């Protein structure tokens, strides 16, 4: 598939804490880095997202007495999975993977910096209403088709892809450029959700 000047490569959360050795490591997460670096050379526009939590974030299991990681609780905005502490602002774990080529990125969207609400999507906080501003940026730049890669397929890639479609962008997830957590069937559920939203699934961009 050829890329167009109005295409964007959206790279989701390729950060140390989501790679092997990190506090919320995705299996084989670092394997996406060489592929993303190659893909980036084919796009005129690249945007990165970065999970960026304050210490004591409400999505951390350690912020809730007697709670355990991966437990689901109810927050004001709905169900919330509790995670191990990860991607704390300014920490080594929050940094991008050292081999990720970020110099061509035009924009870095930081998300999850509001202590009281988590943020999976590149476009909205988990309340589904508070915007990050990315959609407006893309529209002002005239970017129309979004190709997503990164971590993790079933959470931040999934939520970002569904929101991109909800906002009217043509949306493609490149499966080989993603890895999943797959928590209690979350990967299969995410692919179904993305398909139903009209997200295109590509094994690779060839």
Catalytic positions are 13, 111, 156
CB 81 within 8 A of CB 59: yes
Nearest-10 crossing angle of helices 158-166, 186-197: 10
- Burial (Cβ within 10 Å: 0-12, 13-18, ≥19) of residue 188: exposed
**Residue 93 in tokens:** 């774990």
Q: Between vectors from CA 118 to CA 117 and to CA 124, what angle results, nearest 5°? A: 95
Q: Name the pairing type of β-strands 72-75 and 78-81.
A: antiparallel
The strand ranges marked E within 33-120 are: 46-51, 72-75, 78-81, 107-111
């Amino acid at each position: 598939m050829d890329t167009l000047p109005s295409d964007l490569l959206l790279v989701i959360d390729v950060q140390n804490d989501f790679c092997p050795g990190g506090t919320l490591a995705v299996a084989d997460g670092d394997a996406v880095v060489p592929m993303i670096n190659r893909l980036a050379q084919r796009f005129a526009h690249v945007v990165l997202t970065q999970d960026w939590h304050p210490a004591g974030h409400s999505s951390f299991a350690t912020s809730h007495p007697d709670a355990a990681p991966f437990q689901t609780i109810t927050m004001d905005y709905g169900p919330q999975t509790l995670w191990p502490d990860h991607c704390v602002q300014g920490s080594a774990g929050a940094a991008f993977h050292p081999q990720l080529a970020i110099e061509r990125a035009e924009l870095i969207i930081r998300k999850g910096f509001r202590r009281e609400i988590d943020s999976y999507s590149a476009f909205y906080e988990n309340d589904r209403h508070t915007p990050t501003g990315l959609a407006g940026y893309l529209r002002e730049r005239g970017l129309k088709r979004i190709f997503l890669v990164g971590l993790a397929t079933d959470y931040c890639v999934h939520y970002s892809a569904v929101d991109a479609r909800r906002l009217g962008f043509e949306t493609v997830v490149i499966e080989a450029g993603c890895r999943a957590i797959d928590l209690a069937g979350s990967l299969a559920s995410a692919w179904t959700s993305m398909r139903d939203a009209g997200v295109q699934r590509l094994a690779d961009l060839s």
